[in-house]
Amino acid sequence: MVALGVSSIQTASAQGLTSPDPAKPWSISATLRGFYDDNKDTVSDEEEANLGSDYDKESFGFEIAPSARLNWSLPQTAIGLGYTYSYKWYDEKSYWEDGRDSQSHEFNAALEHAFSERYRISARDSFVIGQEPDQIRVGNSFTQLDRVAGDNIRNEAHVLFGADLTRKFGIELGYGNSFFDYEDDAHLDDGFISAYPSLSGVLDRMEHMVNVDGRLTLTPSTVGVLGYAFSDTGYLRDEVLGYSAISESIKSDDRNNRSHYVYAGADHTFTPELTGNLRVGARYNDYYNDPTGESDWSPYIRGSLRYAYLAKGYIEGGIGYDRTATDLYQVSEDGDFVRDQEAATIFATIKHQILPKLNGSLTGQFQHSTFNGGPWDNDDEQFYLAGLNLEYVFNRHFAAHVGYNYDLLDSDIPGREYDRNRVYLGVTATY
């Protein structure tokens, strides 16, 4: 279950997810809002001091975001399509790029089909061109925590086939693919090789995962799960990340890895309003291109809980622990290098109808990361996110909203810490 990112309450994609007219399967909407961002480039205090007095990290601006949705249902098939375009203009220029504006695109597609009562398939795809870290991530954990200028691409696709082999036992077969392509791919500076790798060299990658789960109905409200998954992560650039005193250069594809997951868990319905699931297991990681031959085991945890306490109110949250990529890349003198991070996450969202026409939502997430390898081996950092949104619905076609978001990165790594405050006020029209 993918957590709702903080951006889901601050972008227009959170508006008009369903048609205002139940008889009409499609809807279009447009959002206009003004905002204030006190750290638009997510720079640390140390970076700000180095940038000089001419640099201003605070900015006012406005956003225009049209979107379209389609939800089409047949007796055995459901199809969902959605697209959101966002244009933001800042009154202060970014230090990392020449312009004052940024654009993002988000396209989502989902398909569910039941061949019969026993066999079913589902597929979904999410394609994003964006800059914010919660736009570019996959799942609940963050791989890079800064806002990144440019047209950065992330695509995530999943296919899941389910079969009930007997009245109590079934299997699920799944495949997932994630693709990352950052615009920053320049490793040359005025004809000379840069001292630092590009962001593409550090994070451009393709991730594959195949899983098979056995599902046993233990009671009418509990399904036990025993599963295995195989993942393969391949970095797409042949770029030098760094050098050591005793080894050859370390390149992007030295971080390639294959992993084997084994896990067990359950899906449980406590009441019709309260449901939850949990998976607990272990992961074996093989860095097959690593000159040091690194391979090891790590824990794997994923769980979520949802309580729909009102028709228009719910609480949902979850936990997770897994290894994931990181934007750190440094190499030690002995040839050891940063391979990835172990990320523990906790997230929660509350949505409540305060008054008949006034809705509120509160979202929070905490991520604790421990880095593996290199000069930052076993060093930690903590990432906190919180968001508050209020929406007043005048009628099914028009709503106004106001919100606040806070981000804080506390890190053992020099020059990474920052905090960021954002407030916004806007209106959305939907047809």
Q: What tens digit of pLDDT does each residue of 313-334 get?
A: 999 999 999 999 999 999 988 8
What is the chain's mean pLDDT, rounded? 90
Cα distance between residue 41 and residue 31, in whole Å: 23
In one-letter notation, the amino acid at residue 220 is P
Say if CB 84 and CB 30 are below 8 A apart: no
Number of H helices, E strands in the chain: 3, 22
Residue count of the chain, please give it: 431
pLDDT per residue as tens digits for the range 60-99: 999 999 999 999 999 999 999 999 999 999 999 887 777 8
Segment holding 186, helix H or strand E: none
Rounded Cα gap, residues 133 and 147, in angstroms: 6
Amino acid identity, position 369: S
For the domain 6-430, what is the CATH code? 2.40.160
pLDDT tier at 194, thresholds 50, 70, 90 = low
**What percent of the chain lies above the pLDDT cut of 70?**
91
Residues 6+ apart with CB under 8 A from 177: 155, 156, 157, 158, 206, 207, 208, 209
Averaging pLDDT over each range in 88-92, 199-203, 212-216, which range is the top one?
A: 212-216
The torsion defined by the Cα of 162, 167, 169 and 171, in degrees rounded to 10, comes to -10
Q: Give residue-wise pLDDT tens across range 249-282.
A: 889 999 999 999 999 999 999 999 999 999 999 9
Evaluate if residue 192 carries a pLDDT over 50: no
How much is the pTM?
0.90
- Report, as an integer, the average pLDDT of 232-247: 86
Distance of alpha carbon 74 from alpha carbon 91, whole angstroms: 48
> Which one, of 306, 370, 336, 238, lies nearest residue 3 by Cα?
306
Q: Average pLDDT in the 87-114 region?
A: 91
Q: State how beta strands 169-181 and 205-219 pair.
A: antiparallel
CA dihedral 53, 55, 59, 62 (to 10 degrees): 150
| pLDDT beyond 50 at 10 | no
Spatial contact of 316 and 305, defined as CB atoms under 8 Å apart: yes
pLDDT for residue 18 is more than 50: no
